[in-house]
Amino acid sequence: MTLFERVFNGNDAVYGLTEAAIDNAIAQHGADKAVSFPNTAYSLPCYYGVTGTKVGNLGDLKNALGVVKTLMTRENRLNDAFMSGVATALCAEFIEVLKYIDGAAPYAEPCYGHLADAIIRELGVPLVTGDIPGVAVILGSAPTAEEGVALVKSYQAQGILVTLVGGIIDQCEEMGYKTGANVRVIPLGKDVTSVIHVVSVAVRAALIFGNITPGDAAGLMKYTFERVPAFVNAFGPLDDVVVACGAGAIALGFPVITNETENIFRVPKSLIVQEDVSKFNATSLEARDIKIKITNIDIPVAFASAFEGEIIRRG
Amino acid sequence: MGNFKLTTVEEFEAATNRLLETGAKVGADAWQLRVKNQTPHCKFGEQGVCCRICSMGPCRITPKAPRGICGCDVHGIVARNYLKFTAGGSATHSDHGREICHTLYCSSPDGAYKVKDPEKLMKIAKEWGVETEGKDIYDLAHEVAVLGLEEYGKVFGTQRFLKRAPKHTQEIWEREEIAPRAIDREVSCSLHMTHMGCSSLPEALIRQSLRSGLSDGWGGSMAGTEFSDVLFGTPKPIDTEANLGVMEVENVNIVVHGHDPSLSEMICEYADDPEMIAYAKSKGAKGITVSGVCCTSNEVAMRRGIPMAGNFLQQENVVLTGACEAIVVDVQCIFPALGPLSKCFHTKFITTSPIAQMPDSEFIRFNAETAAENAKAIVKAAIDNFENRKPDLVYIPDMKQKATVGYSLEAIVKTLDGVTNSQVDELGTTKPLIECITSGVIRGAVAMVGCNNPKIRPDSAHIELMKKLIANDVIIVASGCSAQAAAKAGLMDKQAKDLCGAGLKRVCELADIPPVLHMGSCVDISRMMNLVAELAKDSGLNISQLPVVGCAPEWMSEKAVSIGNYVVATGIDTYLGVDPYVSGSDKVAELLTSGIRDWVEAAYTVEKDIDKLGDAMMARIEEKRAALGI
């Protein structure tokens, strides 16, 4: 199967789920039922960023899905794959927002789910100053928990903001590794769709700091490509849905580094196969052109600005 | 960003029309007028059914006269004409290559010609099994030059450069008995075969056309390219400009036209000489501007960033500006019309090669041994001519575009190294390009080459096809007048990425390249052969499996046919926008468009509707992708 076919399949699968979920929600609550993420002024930030349209209720959401469908063209061109990737991301946002109906709190410790505007504003300044030199999105389960945690730790020590999706969250818990916004390791959620909450960060960064007009999709993608130093580490096995999400990430300018070797195509600077997880860090930083000067202080504990907000509890 | 705009063919034509007005004023002739005089063309000639190889004829084939006097049928006549056409092209490139080999032989540490890329020389020497250890670089140059010259008349064996091809391709050439032997022998053998009473079997004649073509592409042209690089440096990406606007009204304008860089390099060298510049100033000019036309322009643009004034059908325009002090030519594709035309202006038309002598020209015989003094005399003559300029005839169209050129195979590989990841990739291969293609980011590659031809609105086919292809994520490598058309339009400006599909655009951004890569002159199509050979080796595929095609939409010369033959014989489907003179024989047409596929895994497609030609190329690329499951 070609890479584009995998993207299209993944997109179709997510679209199908989204459509069913929205129809279900409408059947249950009616089309006038309000939908929103908590603590944001940007409605559904990704959809708003790409289309400039705010979504208020389930009826709007259904209409929005119609717009998303128009992005799902099926020519064998990268533009189509990119747009299908974006469409997949938007579907994920729709699925996620449904979880918040009626002020529900779908995410529990340690997962964050949707991130509030306040967190983005707080992280935005260090991102711009380079104090946070990059954003890592780690997705799936590392071959072993040790390797997974070592990878997270390596980024954290470089001051990179780390977001976690899926099995890696359990692996951190299993190893008793401390996570949280205060130490800049943010578990988002266990479903793959929760990856949208970090995309939402990039999009809102473009709207807040980049002064991108909502709806200027090209400007948005250019901004994220040039200014948001994010990258994705996706552990194999990768299903088509993850590949479709990856296309969305690449469309925004974020390279994907994976240890998957089956049915995968390599794309220079964009989709890189690195079988050795211990080299994910170096591979990712080079792929995203992130240069970090680190003075290694030989001390028995980790040292980085990421630990500045760490809380030391009694006992 | 923002103000980048392609120059359109309409704008080209408006500028040309303005120049033709100047021409009319001084009573100058122009190709536009001569085309009218020659139209309609003779149908027998157009179909290739006219034979003039003996004095029993001329014979022509009609339904009433299905055979010539000797009894040769239409298929034999058409195929013979086709082979002769090829041999002409093959001879031309090959003689150019021979001159370069000879120039290399004349190189010396304190002479006019030096070895500028010793590394490349060493590489070729090793490839050819020449001992390099402890040898003086010039001794080595002379030894390799002699070996190169021997390739033209070697007694036994086939061309040395054939070993560069993937094994599969070499096996095809052996199996089909088209592996070229000595270069001159293939040309000569072709002329033997086409003599009265020799071959009239289309299969045999077309087979020899392929072999003669291969002796060019993998022989003469390759020698020309490789040794030009050794002498003048292997091209690296460099910025330049293109179109008539590169000529400067306040400067002495010297235009180099033709093919062999041995001449143009020397002219450029002396035009840069402070002594000459001071001399130009003493004559009232601000400086000296050298610009180029045709392939010699491509050569000096690739290596020195010398601006490109125009391509084939613009050669008269250069003189029509009234600001050209000298147009210095060597060989090939030079309009004899330049002689009478230059007489209408102050322009000196300087011929330099015994191979190409023309009436109404000043002949300054140029040769490798006396190159420096020849070049100096030519530059001086141009400067002396500045004061003869007639100011009221001067008009230089304000029209030029930026171009980044210099994409030799070596430069392409180096560019590709720039997008590798040191944690996973190896350097010095074409693998990043293969990955872009296999993933679908780029759909394929098209080699756009060839001339201008008044049968097609000049440059329109080149430019329209390129625009269409890059919008569909097909990367283009270009050479010759096709490359110059692209440069004039602006397609070699890196900003042209905005005209690409998302895939090619991303590639241009990440690799920092324009979407159309200038690989050089017409002999430099051998660079493209080396590129596909590397792609095949690095991907493990056969050349014919790669989603790559060749295209000559506005081809004109015999050289173009020779090129077409070696491109096809290398396993690359080739698309022509102008009919070769074979439509008179269904058998020959069938062979070229399908039959030879059984021999060399590729064939020709002829389509005069340029839009359809583009569609056919993209369909073929997708077909090849589908066959590979990518």
Task: List the CATH number of the domain containing B194.
Answer: 1.20.1270.30
Q: What is the pLDDT of residue B433?
A: 98
Distance CA B402, CA B410 (A): 23
Q: Which of B269, B244, B235 is nearest to B521 (CA)?
A: B235
State which amino acid sits at residue B178: I
pLDDT band of B268, cuts 50, 70, 90: very high
Q: How confident is the model at residue B145 (pLDDT cuts 50, 70, 90)?
A: very high
Do residues B187 and B297 share a domain?
no
| Counted domains in chain B | 3
Domain boundary (B179, B199, B232) is at: B232
B54 among annotated binding-site residues? yes
Q: Which of A48, A24, A20 is nearest to A36 (CA)?
A: A48
Residue B220 shares a structural domain with residue B262: no
Q: What one-character DSSP code corresponds to residue B287?
A: -
Which residues in A112-121 are b (16+ Cβ under 10 Å) and which e?
Answer: bbbbebebbe
Whether residue B604 is contained in a domain is answered as: yes
Angle at B196 (CA atoms; ends B190, B200), nearest 5 degrees: 70
Whether B544 shows a pLDDT value over 90: the answer reads yes
The reply to whether B295 sits in an annotated binding site is yes
Query: Looking at the structure, do residues B547 and B613 belong to the same domain, yes or no?
Result: yes
Question: pLDDT tens digits, residue range B298-319?
Answer: 999 999 999 999 999 999 999 9
Closest CA in chain A for residue B474 = A77
User: What is the model's pLDDT at position B2?
Assistant: 64
Instruction: Retrieve residue B337's tokens.
Output: 């019309």
pLDDT tens digits, B330-340: 999 999 999 99
> Do residues B80 and B157 both lie within one domain?
yes
State which residue of chain A sits closest to B507, comparing Cα positions.
A268
Check whether B19 has a pLDDT greater than 90: yes
Tallying the residues shown for chain A, one arrives at: 315
Q: Do both B224 and B361 map to the same domain?
A: no
Asked, for residue B23, whether it belongs to a domain, the answer is no
Beta-ladder partners of A231: A136
A84, A249 contact by CB (below 8 A): no
Percentage of chain B modeled with pLDDT above 90: 99
Task: Pick the residue of B415, B441, B500, B618 with the most A CBs within 10 A to test the interface with A by mutation.
Answer: B441
CA dihedral (B241, B242, B247, B251) in degrees, to 10, reads: 20
Domain end marker among B393, B414, B429? B393
Q: Is there a contact between A226 and A191 (Cβ–Cβ < 8 Å)?
A: no
Distance CA A43, CA A30 (A): 19
ipTM confidence = 0.92
Lowest mean pLDDT: which of A114-128, B52-66, B115-129, B536-550?
Answer: A114-128
Contact A265 B440 (CB under 8 A): yes
Instruction: Give the tens place of pLDDT for each residue, A71-96.
Output: 999 999 999 999 999 999 999 999 99
Q: A202-206, B464-468, B554-558: lowest mean pLDDT where? A: A202-206
Chain B residue closest to A247 (CA)? B441
Question: Nearest CA to CA, how far is A108 from chain B (Å)?
Answer: 38
- The closest CB to that of B423, out of A1, A82, A279, belongs to A279
Q: Give me the phi and psi of B259, to 5 degrees please.
A: -140, -40
* pLDDT for residue A294: 66
Using the Cβ of B1 and the Cβ atoms of chain A, whether some distance falls under 8 Å is answered with: no
Report residue B532 as tokens.
């596909």
Instruction: Please check whether residues B480 and B604 belong to one and the same domain.
Output: yes
**Alpha-carbon gap, residue B626 to A247, rounded angstroms:** 21
Can you tell me the mean pLDDT for A123-129? 79
pLDDT at A282 exceeding the cut of 60: yes
Is the pLDDT at B1 greater than 60, yes or no? Answer: no
Contact between A187 and A172 under an 8 Å Cβ cutoff? The reply is yes
Calculate the average pLDDT of chain B. 97
Residues of B in contact with A3 (CB under 8 A): 439-440
Phi, psi (degrees; rounded to nearest 5) at B30: -150, 155
Shared domain check, B220 and B273: no
Strands B308-310 and B348-351: what pairing?
unpaired
The answer to whether the annotation marks B436 as part of a ligand binding site is no
Q: Is B235 left (phi over 0), alpha (psi -120 to 50) or beta?
A: beta
pLDDT at B406 over 80: yes
B228 within 8 A of B116, measured Cβ to Cβ:
no
Provide the 3-class DSSP secondary structure of residue B567.
helix
Same domain, B406 and B389: no
**What is the model's pLDDT at position B101?**
98
Q: Tell me, yes or no, whether B277 and B182 share the same domain.
A: no
Chain B positions touching A273 (Cβ under 8 A) are 424
CA-to-CA distance for B560 and B381, rounded, in angstroms? 34
Q: B85 lies in a domain?
A: yes
Beta strand extents in B430-480 (DSSP E only)? 444-448, 474-479
pLDDT at residue B446 greater than cutoff 60:
yes
Is B500 labelled a binding residue?
A: no
Contact A94, A37 (CB under 8 A): no
CB B316 within 8 A of CB B26: no
Instruction: Return all residues near A297 (Cβ < 8 A) that are at least 6 apart.
Output: A303
Q: Do A82 and B440 touch (CB under 8 A)?
A: no
Average the pLDDT over A102-113 and give the result: 94
**Residue B33 belongs to a domain:** no
Residue B19 lies in a domain: no
pLDDT digits (tens, 9 = 90+) for A154-174: 999 999 999 999 999 999 999
The answer to whether residue B35 sits within a structural domain is no
Q: Cα(B288)–Cα(B308) distance, rounded to whole angstroms?
A: 15
The CATH code of the domain that includes B352 is: 3.40.50.2030
Contacts with A, B 473-502, CB within 8 Å = 473, 501-502
Q: Read off φ and ψ for residue B605, nearest 5 degrees.
A: -130, 130
Q: Which positions ≥6 away from B94 have C-beta within 8 Å?
A: B152, B183, B184, B187, B215, B216, B219, B220, B221
DSSP 8-state secondary structure symbol assigned to residue B8: P
Q: Which helix (H) or strand (E) holds B604?
A: strand B604-606
Residue B112 belongs to a domain: yes
Q: Are residues B75 and B156 located together in one domain of the fold?
A: yes
Please give the C-alpha separations between residue B81 and each of A120, B194, B202, B452, in angstroms, as whole numbers: 74, 8, 11, 22
B189 annotated to bind ligand:
no
Answer yes or no: do B565 and B610 share one domain. yes
Of B176, B200, B232, which marks where a domain is finished? B232
B237 belongs to a structural domain: no
Find the mean pLDDT for residues B25-53. 96
Cα distance between residue A265 and residue A281, in whole Å: 20
Distance CA B242, CA B301 (A): 10
Does B420 sit within 8 Å of A77, measured CB to CB?
Answer: no
Pick A303 or B221 by higher pLDDT. Answer: B221
Cα B16 to the chain's mean position, in Å?
A: 23
Average pLDDT over residues B365-388: 95
Tens of pLDDT, residues A189-243 = 999 999 999 999 999 999 999 999 999 999 999 999 999 999 999 998 999 999 9
Is B561's pLDDT higher than 60? yes
Same domain, B202 and B277: no
d(CA B83, CA B93): 16
| Rounded-to-integer distance, Cα B304 and Cα B133, Å | 31
Q: Which domain holds residue B517?
A: 402-628
B510 contacts on A by Cβ (under 8 Å): 268-270
Q: What is the DSSP letter of B333?
A: S
Residue A304 has pLDDT above 80, yes or no: no
- Bigger pLDDT: A130 vs B545: B545
3-state SS of chain A is CCHHHHHHHHHHHHHHHHHHHHHHHHHHHCCCCECCCCCCCCCCHHHHHHHCCCCCEHHHHHHHHHHHHHHCCCCCCHHHHHHHHHHHHHHHHHHHHHCCHHHCCCCCCCCCCCCCHHHHHHHHHHHHHCCCCCEEEEECCCCCHHHHHHHHHHHHHCCCEEEEECHHHHHHHHCCCCCEHHHCEEEEECCHHHHHHHHHHHHHHHHHCCCCCCCCHHHHHHHHHHHCCEEEEECCCCCHHHHHHHHHHHHCCCCEEECCCCCCCCECCCEEECCCHHHHHHHHHHHCCCCCCCCCCCCCCCCCHHHHHCCCCCC
